[in-house]
Chain A
Amino acid sequence: MMKFIKNSLFLALVVLASALSAQQVAPPESGTFILTNATIETITNGQQKGDILIQDGKIAQIGGNLSRPAGAKVVDCAGLTVYPGLIDSGTRLGLAEIGSISLTQDYNELGSVTPQMQALTAVNPSSVNIPVTRTNGITTVIAAPSGGRFPGTAALINLHGYTPDQMYAGFKAVVMNFPSTGRRGRWDRRSDEDIKKDEEKALKEITELWDDMAVYHRIDSVGGQPDYNPAMETLLPVYRGEAVLMVEANKAKDIESALKWIEEKGIKAILTGAAEGWRVADKIADSGIPVITGPILNTPTRSSDRFDKAYANAGLMQKAGVKVAIRTNETENVRNLPFNAGFAAAYGMGKEEALKAVTIVPAEIFGVSDQLGSIEVGKVANLFVTDGDPFETKTQVQHLFISGWKIPMENRHTLLYDEFLERSPGLTK
């Protein structure tokens, strides 16, 4: 018997050791959860104290001393604060694994006009980057394709699920890189004449495409059968103003041209990037077009600009009346979203507005504010629990829920820490 116990203990240790060295993150836990005695940062209804009941993936109840359904698992949140899951409005998460290895990168298909390329198709639910990201409280991101003029269709995803459809969070949009004018940097050695030519060519391309779209739209409207053209088929709802287009423009001049083009074509748009948005903030505000900006942790766009312009940009636009959401534009370090928001807060935006820029504002921009972006009854249970300000660098995230699943606070980085803090064997020759 003793031998049996010894053997099973040994076996258990072997299993444990192999689980550790395999670096596999533990599976999430399902069920009904009740978060008790929490400080609740609802975003939309101020700060409250009490309990949150999570049932069937949704926030079922919020209030003081909620009754506990049979089988509900209690998560003691005394002294802790609950926040709605953070939303990163622009990333390549799940679309790229290792920066320098092209065969692990799925965000940039060949061709310039390929709006039919679906980011959601290529999102890898098992990407090692995903657990690394979500354990900092980021529950939802835009996974966006890039490169070319219309690189594809971006998708909003929750950071738990075994298939892209399980991760899909209810918003997709075609991405457009608005033609960029002028010199691209000191290494751009094109002549002034060539730059002007390239600019005219790019603008001509989108004008011609839209002329073609007009024909495609007319044929389709009268019940005709245009030739199979997946790009145009995907752009049709954009052309008709039924679907929103994410338009990337960063230079002040390009932003102005983009705003003009959007107005001329009568389409619905979100402006993304907007690195120099502060220079034309009033014009963006007048257009009523919302903005997704970032990374905040970035250098100014021009050598002559004050050092903090990239930090201050989001706040300057927001104060001018623009609806601003924040993105990291990152892949493996989307986990820095709260720090990007924190820098925006410190450099003029303020904590409250910066918190909205990574929760309810993107939810509104993406038309999913009935589901995401705040702690309200009936919304998806995307929440995280911290021991302090979620933007503060030293704050620890204690618990995490995505679509009602309790997600383990583990990722490759924590597993390596557990294994190597006190390595065994240590120093031997």
Chain B
Amino acid sequence: MKKYTAITAILLFFGLSATAQVEKGSMLIKNATVLTVTDGTKSNTDILVENGKIKRIGSDLKARNAETIDATGMYVMPGIIDAHSHIAIDAVNEATNPVTAEVWVGDALNPMDIGIYRALAGGVTISHAMHGSANAVGGQCETIKHRWGTYDAEEIRMQGAPRTIKFALGENPMRVHGEGGGIKPRTRMGIEQVFRDAFNDALEYKKAWATYKSNPNSTPPEYSLRMETLGDIIDGEIIVHCHSYRADEIYMLLNVLEDFGVKRICFQHVNEGFKVAPELAEYGAMASVFSDWWAYKFEVYYSTAYNAAILTKNGVVTSINSDSGELIRHLYHEAAKTQRYGNLSDDEALSLITINPAKQLGIEDRVGSIEVGKEADLVIFKNHPLSIYAIPQKTIIDGVVYFDIDADADDMRVDISLDPEEKFDATFDYYEEGEDDRCMEGVFEFLFGTQE
């Protein structure tokens, strides 16, 4: 109880400190092997960072008033970007309706989630904190920068990143609403109609407002944030990220989106994306996949770990994501699996966790590669990041070091004197294999009053 009082006090204090001022740093990284991703590999190269941005890339660079990091024998790559996570949010699923476009996980950000720190220790600087997959149209998501060490949720938002929203196809919305709630959708046919109904309702809503605006003396329509959001999707202001598995349902959504003129779409998980890779490429749809997860439910039984390679070679912008507080810690290794399963080149494999997820989140002009002018989100590795022996040494965001393996504490308790009676020993977070994906977190408590 004491602990909660302390946390509440801290939250109140920082909550009052108004809008966040994000820290930006300067530094000079010397003599590294630089994996730029977009411009090849440069050996014995320096990177000069000034005020959070990459100022110069070259040799014999000098720093004025900035710390120098000797990276001789080390590799530097762009900060890893995870296009699908559920870390740093206190709520994942608003599982009360097949369409919940009005909710936003950004309202439930938790900058103190230990998952952020663990992700940093795996070189991940940005993640896409997503709503869950209980609903056909889920909530809006938040792109965050892993600025660990703050109590202020505002500091971890990536200001200026485009809005995104979660859609979901297949078993999850069918199970929650059709089987669990006895309402549409119970089938993949029903799911198509949920989307068509929602988009048509949004068009009616837009029309009603247009009519009202042209005739201010008429009665105004009722305001609906849900309809406003769906309208923004149709207007191209929100990137759709759609949980999906089977080829047929992916193809279905492409048709629906085409009918409503929605262009910006990234399919998530998309285990059978490889079967419709030519169609995805033609539409300009993107794909964010697992390296090798499969068989945990029927709709992923006909999967292949070669999915990312097939999609890449068919011209689909592809990323590898985690959807897991465990996997997010070694996405560099997950990306390397595309070399065992599909022989992707180093640059192709690294793109899957850098520039490609940046494109999927609409932030590729700012991050995702090591280029002059981009934000200085960088990871320094011992051993090549695609090697099994790779160990992240330092993780840098906006030129500030947020993870340093040499300064890493063996005991992460921030201040054990807060409450000496607190039995830390009592809590054991051991992850058991076979848990449902976090995409469904909170759903079982909602449906059955228990945690599955």
Nearest chain A residue, comparing its CB with the CB of B324: A299
Cβ of A10 < 8 Å from any Cβ of B? Answer: no
A345 to B303, CA, bound (A): 30
Residues of A within 8 A of B309 (CB): 417, 421
B275 with A99: CB separation less than 8 A: no
- The residue from B277, B295, B383, B387 contacting A423, defined by CB atoms under 8 A apart: B277
- The number of chain B residues touching the other chain, given as a range, is 35 or more
A298 to B171, CA, bound (A): 27
| B293-310 CB contacts (< 8 Å) to partner A | 293-298, 301-306, 309-310
| B390-421 CB contacts (< 8 Å) to partner A | 390-391, 408-413
Nearest chain A residue, comparing its CB with the CB of B171: A100
Cβ of B117 < 8 Å from any Cβ of A? Answer: yes
Nearest chain B residue, comparing its CB with the CB of A101: B298
Residues of B within 8 A of A298 (CB): 326, 430-431
Encode contact with A along B109-138: 1 for CB under 8 Å, 0 otherwise: 000001001100110000000000000000
Residues of A within 8 A of B275 (CB): 420, 423
Known A-B contacts A101-B298, A304-B413, A307-B121; A185 and B303 likewise in contact (beta carbons under 8 Å): no
B424 with A417: CB separation less than 8 A: no
Cβ of B51 < 8 Å from any Cβ of A? Answer: no
B433 with A417: CB separation less than 8 A: no
A342 to B296, CA, bound (A): 24
Residues of A within 8 A of B294 (CB): 332-333
Known A-B contacts A412-B304, A420-B277, A421-B310; A393 and B295 likewise in contact (beta carbons under 8 Å): no
Residues of A within 8 A of B216 (CB): none
A414 to B298, CA, bound (A): 19
Residues of A within 8 A of B386 (CB): 393-394
- The residue from A253, A347, A420 contacting B391, defined by CB atoms under 8 A apart: A347
Encode contact with A along B366-402: 1 for CB under 8 Å, 0 otherwise: 0000000000000000010011111100000000000
Encode contact with B along A179-205: 1 for CB under 8 Å, 0 otherwise: 000111111000000000000000000
Q: How far is the CB of A337 from chain B (nearest CB, A)?
A: 12
Cβ of A302 < 8 Å from any Cβ of B? Answer: yes
Cβ of A27 < 8 Å from any Cβ of B? Answer: no
B337 with A393: CB separation less than 8 A: yes
Residues of A within 8 A of B391 (CB): 346-347
| A142-197 CB contacts (< 8 Å) to partner B | 182-187
Cβ of B267 < 8 Å from any Cβ of A? Answer: no
Q: How far is the CB of A426 from chain B (nearest CB, A)?
A: 5
Cβ of A30 < 8 Å from any Cβ of B? Answer: no
Residues of A within 8 A of B426 (CB): 182-183
Nearest chain A residue, comparing its CB with the CB of B275: A420
Residues of B within 8 A of A364 (CB): none
Q: Which residues of A contact B (CB under 8 A)?
A: 97-101, 128-129, 182-187, 250-251, 253, 275, 295, 297-308, 329-333, 335-336, 339, 342-343, 345-347, 389, 391-396, 412-414, 416-417, 420-421, 423, 426-427
Q: Which residues of B contact A (CB under 8 A)?
A: 114, 117-118, 121-122, 171, 274-275, 277-279, 282, 292-298, 301-306, 309-310, 313, 325-326, 329-330, 333, 336-337, 339-342, 383, 386-391, 408-413, 424-431, 433-434, 436, 451
Report 13 cross-chain contacts, Cβ distance below 8 Å, ordered by A residue: A99-B295, A251-B430, A306-B410, A330-B433, A331-B433, A331-B434, A336-B292, A343-B330, A345-B388, A346-B390, A393-B333, A395-B340, A417-B304
